[in-house]
Structure 1
Amino acid sequence: MRCVRLRSALALLASGLLLQTATAADKVYGEQLEGFAYPYPLQRFTFTSQQQALSMGFMDVKPARQPNGQTVVLLHGKNFCGATWETTIRTLSQQGYRVIAPDQIGFCSSAKPASYQYSFQQLAENTHQLLQRQGVTNAIIMGHSTGGMLATRYALMYPQQTQKLVLVNPIGLEDWKAKGVPWRSVDQWYQRELKLDAASIKKYEQHTYYSGQWKPAYDKWVDMLAGLNKGPGHQKVAWNSALIYDMIFTQPVWYEFKNLSMPVTLMIGTADTTAIGSDIAPPEVKAQLGHYDVLGPQVAKMIPDARLITFPGLGHAPQMEAPQRFHQALLEALTR
């Protein structure tokens, strides 16, 4: 009898530990990413846009040493947040830069409106209003992934306020629609986004972003996206994501790179294969998409004052994949 009781107690303990482990790995975050820990204090910018009151979360990090008088604005990508710039913020702050990293409307810690006409112009204007509120009249604008498309649009709209433009593996180095990628309706994007979970996010990022490799440090960012997608704002998060994908696909910046008037630095992980819609493109079209080793040099030639920095073998997020190597190149580029 005593052995039976002991086995039962051990079984209960084991099941409790398993439940605890599962719960820890199955985090859920609020509609505006409540519960997720940002690396620096999260502030709020409340403003009116399209006849509704909206709120953007952002970090405004002061220089950790003697200020150099310059501000860097970091614009995140589609599957990223301001928080994913963590090591870049720390590196820049330690070099005397003020760093502002907002979450765009529809993303992460910011509002998920029930209806919103998304455009890169609108997001650029929202960002410009935030910077005005923070007293920033001139800044280095740096965008990664979808944030690269937004940074390009911002620089085209506000050239006098853009000191330099830095694009890190930006998407939009090609026009997928013009190359033959099939169109998806917003409803189709919505149904796709409703199905997102940690496993599918990790599979996509490992294959597309990191050349099949994976590091434990990436798990935090998968957890961030998965926890947001399965939280109480699940449907609103998926709907806004669908609207944003439609914006990305239908609003190319490729044709306007030639109009950029400020110094531009392109930082390209050459193993990147990111291309919107490649999952439903015919094989002959898919074969032409996402070749960043080719796209980087092509776009650099289109920009009047461009410098290309390549990271052979790195994927879509070189600042996360090889942070020391990336940030050394970034700091050198900013001081040129």
Structure 2
Amino acid sequence: MLATIRKMLTSAPHAPPSAATIAAAIDHLDVKMVEARAALAAADDRRADAVLLGDAAAADVRQTITALAENLTDLTAARDRLVERLASARAAEAEVERQARYDAAKAAAEAASKALRSKYTPAIATLRSLLRQLETAQALAEAANADLPEGAAPIGDPEIAVRGIPWQHAEVISETKVERWVQSGGDPRFPVSIEDEAKLKVTGTDRAVMMVQRPIGGGSVEHTSIPYERVKLIEIVKRPGVGGQVAPQMRDLHLPGLRLSDGTYSPPGYFAGHAAIIALLDEAERPVSAAAAAVNAPEPVTEYRAVPIEASATRDRFELSLPATAEAA
């Protein structure tokens, strides 16, 4: 009966069955135990009839019941052992998964550290060089704009030209002659909307009124009419002007070196001049001396702890462990 289960659990050397295989074996074993219990119940049900038929028949049934009971005991014991192995297999597989995640994370961390060591310093050097170039160009542009040649257009900020939105003047898209209703004596720039024209009641040529309600106090309202007239207008469709917008500037970046002791460029403030920023870049790029880069080792310290000594018949105490020089003193 256990041959199928034994076959399910047979595996190559050093490759124990998986948790899924053991679970399947337990399911198969559960089916066999149900069958065994049913067979044992049927045999026990035949016991009384066998006794009435004679000693030989009764002996055969008792032998069958004993064999079935032993088989059920064996199946129960086997199932209990498989449950233990299932728990161990699941724990082992979970550990394999944890180890795999750990190995992958460790490899990713080592790769990131390697990339940082090889790529960070050149990247920072590139950004600092770019910032230096921008600041120099902006300083030259400001100086040139302060004394422009005749007819020359001012030079725009080189960073805003790439990373910002330059000033855009208003643009007229179309101009069309139209006829619209306007309140009599009102501002022609604000004609009645197309939706509200349905509320107008035409009273004559190019004349109309709109009935409205006005509160007069005490919860009462009065109905009044507002006169409108139809006039000729020029409908102008245009794209409004947009002021220049600037992304965070390069000068606002914090550009530390790779190591703690390396030079660092930090933003000097919004109103800092170009010369001040270039001076900060010079300072950040200046090689750090070996003495400044060295990390001082901490001085050794002395600590004490109480240690137990063997208890005597009359006392149980702790003695303080002191340095040899102190004991000698």
Q: What interval of TM-score do these two structures reach, taking the shorter chain for normalisation? A: under 0.3
Normalised by the size of structure 1, how large is the TM-score?
0.15
Larger helix share, 1 or 2: 2
TM-score (norm 2): 0.15
